[in-house]
Amino acid sequence: MMNYTEIAGFKVWNDDYDDYKDKYELTGIIGEGMCMRFARWLNENDLSEDTAEDVCNNTSGLRDGNRLDIHDNYYLTDDGRYQISYIWALENGIVYAEVYDSEEDRYVGNIEICC
């Protein structure tokens, strides 16, 4: 059973990305789709007005086969304590955003962006 914490109205699942690291070799096309879905989610939740192209330009190439690092983190909270620092996906297309706690300098879990 997975536990979650609620941060800024979002369920942040207490899960460890390392369990999914290097399990998949996603393609660049899927990486672009991740950016598109993440941009849509950011806009729908009033966290950013970035377009899919803006998000793509703010990310690295695919890392670990399924992760895109974000260069300038997106703030989940107004004070900047909770930030989204990378997005990742499963082979079946589910996209997650990893939440970083800048005050405690640790990852707290992930938010399911789309399924």
Is 80 exceeded by the pLDDT of residue 115? no
Q: CA angle, corner 73, sides to 83 and 30, nearest 5? A: 105
pLDDT in tens, 35-76: 999 999 999 999 999 999 999 999 999 999 999 999 999 999
Q: Contact 81/40 with Cβ under 8 angstroms?
A: no
pLDDT at 1 over 80: no
55 within domain boundaries? yes
Range of 66's domain? 14-114
How many domains, the chain? 1
Asked if residue 4 is part of any domain, the answer here is no
Q: Which amino acid is located at 92 in the chain?
A: N
pLDDT average, residue stretch 3-22: 92
Q: Per residue in 98-113, pLDDT tens?
A: 999 999 999 999 999 9
Q: Is residue 80 in some structural domain?
A: yes
Q: What's the pLDDT at 24?
A: 87
pLDDT tens per residue across span 82-100: 999 999 999 998 999 999 9
Distances (CA, A) of 101 to 7, 12, 98, 115: 10, 12, 10, 24
pLDDT digits (tens, 9 = 90+) for 32-42: 999 999 999 99
